[in-house]
Amino acid sequence: MGGERSLYDTDFLTWTEEQAAALRELAARRDLPNRLDLENVIEEIETLGRSELKAATSPIRLILGHLLKAAMQPDSPARHHWAVEIAAWHGEARDEILPSMHRKIDMNDLWRRAIRDARVALDRDGIALPRDITAACPLPLDAFLQEAFDFDAALAQVATAVPRPALA
């Protein structure tokens, strides 16, 4: 085999989408043996693609969760630890998120899931995350795909999405 890499190797999500589409076309044929379970084969291939997307976007959800915790606990001794983990997850996101995934990433869904996770973690520390957090993710996908991730700038953006109680 030559040095040429296949779509399977370079963009697994697109490969799964193309394979599922090809199998759907094949399933329309009436001359196939009944024992060929194309419906379930298609579903399994699509599930593999969705799993790949979920794994690729998981670091974004984790970053958002840490930013929420840092916004709620600006003087926490864990701040440095959160920043170090965010830097590592940023690298993972950049490595794993392929251009074909961009259109499928729902930043608002990742934000909602990060809020849920941060709420659980903060509750353990006796800190209540406000219920009226901005529903739209304050950071665009592009913020996670840049070569460098600016922790302080991202934290400032996330902090604007978290309402603060008015001082008496």
Q: What's the pLDDT at 168?
A: 43
108 and 136 Cβ atoms separated by less than 8 Å:
yes
CA 155 to CA 23: how far, in whole Å? 45
38 and 23 Cβ atoms separated by less than 8 Å:
yes
Burial (CB < 10 A; 0-12, 13-18, 19+), residue 167, is exposed
Q: What's the pLDDT at 38?
A: 87
Per-residue pLDDT of the chain (168 residues; tens, 9 = 90+): 556 788 888 888 999 999 999 999 988 888 877 777 888 999 999 999 999 999 999 999 999 999 999 999 999 999 999 999 999 999 999 999 999 999 999 999 999 999 999 999 999 999 999 999 999 999 999 999 999 999 999 999 999 999 876 444
Q: Which pTM value belongs to this model?
A: 0.85
CA 154 to CA 152: how far, in whole Å? 5
Q: What's the pLDDT at 1?
A: 52
Q: What's the pLDDT at 2?
A: 58
Q: What's the pLDDT at 27?
A: 84
User: Nearest Cα to 64, choosing from 148, 125, 141, 132?
Assistant: 141
List C-alpha distances in Å: 86 to 12, 66, 72, 81, 130: 25, 7, 16, 9, 23
68 and 129 Cβ atoms separated by less than 8 Å:
yes
List C-alpha distances in Å: 103 to 8, 13, 53: 19, 12, 11
Q: What is the amino acid identity at position 19?
A: Q
108 and 137 Cβ atoms separated by less than 8 Å:
yes
Q: What's the pLDDT at 154?
A: 97
